Amino acid sequence: MKRTLIALLAAALMAPAAMAQIVSSRSSQVVTIRQPKQKKPKVKHPLQPITYISADIDGNSIVGIKAKSYTEKSIYKEGEKTKVGFQLLVGHQFPMGKSRFFYAVEGGLSTIGYKMDYSHTYWNQVWTGSRYSSIEENVNYNWTHTAYCLQVSPLTLGWKPRLSDKMAFEMSLGLNLSYALFGSLSGDSVADDASWDDDISKFGVGLNYNFGFWYEHVYVGLRLHPLNTNFLDSSITAQPMAAGLNLRYAF
């Protein structure tokens, strides 16, 4: 009887240790299976049609100066200065399918012009009674020529990749048509009967280059706007150029 009680007591004491050993051996056989990482789908940002207002603060000048004489050409190149101008336009962008490309139309008002300020020194032969004497004379020339134009861009092609949910880059190339409505011609060396449209081809065709960044509804960029309209002054011709800061706001 005593032996039976001792055997039962020993079995009761050894049972927890045996169960722990069984659990330990089973847990060592468990294999952990790693789930493959799922790639996050790329978020697409389709272009949306937008209507916007555009304002430019430009530097107006002239390029491609041509003259019959080297002296005249040199004088114009030396005296030509940049004047402040503007563009105020309304535009609309149309997405081209699901691509990052678009086409746009614009229209509004713009300025072209230039400022001329130079001094010319020459020798004048003067009869003094017994002989001719050479007298040095200095003449200052200055005038400002401005034309205010109706501008239409019937076709502009652009590329507009999205950089984030709120930001996008844009670059574009467009065709410009312009017609000078009115203008001004002022300066000390301007004749009294001179008019702003005496020496300008009113109709012009040119290009515009744009690149910049959108942040939500606001765009900041640069615009280059050359025209083939001629400014004329007797034997001198030149083409107007506008370049400056372009600001837009999309509705």
pTM metric for this prediction: 0.73
* CA–CA distance, 166 with 216 (Å, rounded to integer): 5
Q: What residue type is assigned to position 118 of the chain?
A: Y
Q: Which residue has the higher pLDDT, 250 or 137?
A: 250
Give me the percent of the chain exceeding a pLDDT of 70: 79
Residue 251 has pLDDT above 50, yes or no: yes
Domain segments of the chain as ranges: 50-250
* CA–CA distance, 144 with 201 (Å, rounded to integer): 17
Q: Which CATH architecture has domain 50-250?
A: Beta Barrel (2.40)
Mean pLDDT for the chain overall: 82
pLDDT value for 191: 74
Residue 183 has pLDDT above 70, yes or no: yes
pLDDT digits 0-9 by tens, 118-131: 777 766 777 777 77
Bridge partners of residue 182, in order along the sequence: 148
* CA–CA distance, 146 with 16 (Å, rounded to integer): 103
Confidence of residue 43 (pLDDT cuts 50, 70, 90): very low
